[in-house]
Amino acid sequence: MNLSVKTSAKFISSLSKHVKINEESIHKLGDILIEEIESGRLSPNNFSQTDVHPKSDEPWALDWLFVVDTLNFCFWHKENEEGWKVDGYSGYFALCAAVNRAQKEKVDILNPKFYSIITENQLHKILRSDTKVECPLLPERLKCLHEVGNVLLEQFDGSFENVVKKAENSAANLLNLIIENFKCFKDEAVYKGNKVAIYKRAQILIGDIWACFSNRGIGYFQDINEITAFADYRIPQTLLWYGVFEYSRDLLERLKTNEVLKNGDEVEVEIRGCSIHAVELLNEYATKKTGRE
């Protein structure tokens, strides 16, 4: 059994020196979220409201989600700098647009037989940019595609659908299957001498399946609440804006200089772990206040 993300996040938050969670602001933001949910403006249905996402009735939707979330990491660029763009989109949505463009160009990008041996030049062409800025970390993305493609071919008869079916409609089971079989999804760190779990992309993948299929059919998970928030870099920005996060003076100074926090750095782990725990607290507050327990 893998580490619990919720337990890891609570542990990180309890010892965090550079990131503190403001409980009063949890209540304020929680009230805003309740209003957004009850108005219908915030809904899982938002997944299908963007043209770059697949629809559940498209037979290749599951394979699309797997490939995109395998490649879904680190697209940011510095403020006031030109970034990587595809069909006018930036960041994650540029990735979606690039995969969609490859499909239109008849590239077999969703087939593990293809992407398990894809060359860097082929991937470069698939992810080519509208701008002079190319997709970052291309060798790392290539390595991820090779790894997951070979695992699918060797252990799951070349089908990600077989992985999902093996989970038997359990998000927790699917998380374990992804983490144990696809090592590039095993997002762990050591914090204060203890191993902790973040599992960002693995949980995003499960969340995307759940949202794309509207919690029905192969996308139905009886225990979807086992999945936490995803420790994406946009979340701490939002939490800081609403006063849920309070950063230490040292961390603020480091951020002002545009310092890149290394993966696994103590401060980076605190930001990510506290992000997850803060969202858990927001969820608890909203659930209790609306009586939806």
pLDDT at 249: 96
Q: Say whether pTM exceeds 0.95.
A: no
User: Which residue from 279, 273, 236 is spatially nearest to 255, judged by alpha carbons?
Assistant: 236
The CA-based angle 107-112-115, given to 5 degrees, is 55
Count Cα neighbours of 46 within 13 Å in the Cβ-side half-sphere.
8
User: Which residue from 75, 73, 65 is spatially nearest to 99, judged by alpha carbons?
Assistant: 65
Task: Write out the catalytic residue numbers.
Answer: 232
- How does pLDDT run across 151-185, given as a tens digit for each residue? 999 999 999 999 999 999 999 999 999 999 999 99
Residues of the chain with pLDDT under 50: none
pLDDT at 231: 85
Beta-strand runs (E) in the chain: 19-21, 85-86, 89-90, 188-191, 194-197, 245-247
Question: In the chain, where are the structural domains located?
Answer: 5-42+51-290
Beta-strand runs (E) in 116-233: 188-191, 194-197
